[in-house]
Amino acid sequence: MAITAQDVNKLRTMTGAGMMDCKKALTEANGDFEKAIEILRKKGQKVSASRSDKEAKEGSVFVKTSDNNKEAALIALNCETDFVAKNEEFQGLGEAIVNVAFAKKPASTEALLGEKLGDLTVQEKITELVGKIGEKIEISEYVQMAGEAVVPYIHAGSKLGVLVSLKGVNGKDVTEAGKDVGMQIAAMNPVAVDETSVDKNVIEKELEIAKAQIIAEGKPQNMVEKIAEGKLKKFYKENTLVHQPFVKDNSKTVAQYLDGYSKGLAVADFKRVAIG
Per-residue pLDDT at 276 exceeds 90? no
State the average pLDDT over residues 181-196. 97
In this structure, of 57-71, 185-199, 203-217, the range with the lowest mean pLDDT score is: 203-217
Cα–Cα distance list, 132 to 4, 89, 95, 138, 178 (Å): 21, 10, 18, 15, 39
Nearest to 123 by CA among 39, 64, 54, 45: 45
Half-sphere CA count of 57, side-chain side, radius 13 A: 4
Query: What confidence tier does 52 reach under pLDDT thresholds 50, 70, 90?
Result: confident
Q: CATH fold of 5-50, please? A: Helicase, Ruva Protein; domain 3 (1.10.8)
CA distance 252 to 257: 6
For residue 44, the SS3 value is helix
pTM as predicted: 0.84
Looking at per-residue pLDDT, the higher value among 171 and 46 belongs to: 171
243-273 residue pLDDT tens: 999 999 999 999 999 999 999 999 999 999 9
**At a CB cut-off of 8 Å and minimum separation 6, what does 265 contact?**
166, 167, 168, 169, 172, 174, 177, 258, 259
Query: What confidence tier does 85 reach under pLDDT thresholds 50, 70, 90?
Result: very high
Query: What confidence tier does 17 reach under pLDDT thresholds 50, 70, 90?
Result: confident
Per-residue pLDDT at 219 exceeds 80? yes
134-186 residue pLDDT tens: 899 999 999 999 999 999 999 989 999 999 999 999 999 999 999 999 999 99
Query: What confidence tier does 60 reach under pLDDT thresholds 50, 70, 90?
Result: very high
Cα–Cα distance list, 28 to 21, 23, 32, 39, 46 (Å): 11, 9, 9, 8, 16
In this structure, of 49-53, 96-100, 253-257, the range with the lowest mean pLDDT score is: 49-53
Q: For position 11, what pLDDT does the model report?
A: 87
Query: What confidence tier does 210 reach under pLDDT thresholds 50, 70, 90?
Result: very high
Strand partners, 78: 59, 138
Question: Where are the domains positioned within the chain?
Answer: 5-50
62-76 residue pLDDT tens: 999 999 999 999 999
Task: Tell me the pLDDT of the chain averaged across its residues.
Answer: 94
In this structure, of 44-48, 99-103, 146-150, 206-210, the range with the lowest mean pLDDT score is: 44-48
State the average pLDDT over residues 1-30. 88
- Above pLDDT 90, what percent of the chain? 83
**At a CB cut-off of 8 Å and minimum separation 6, what does 207 contact?**
228, 232
Pairing of strands 266-274, 138-146: unpaired
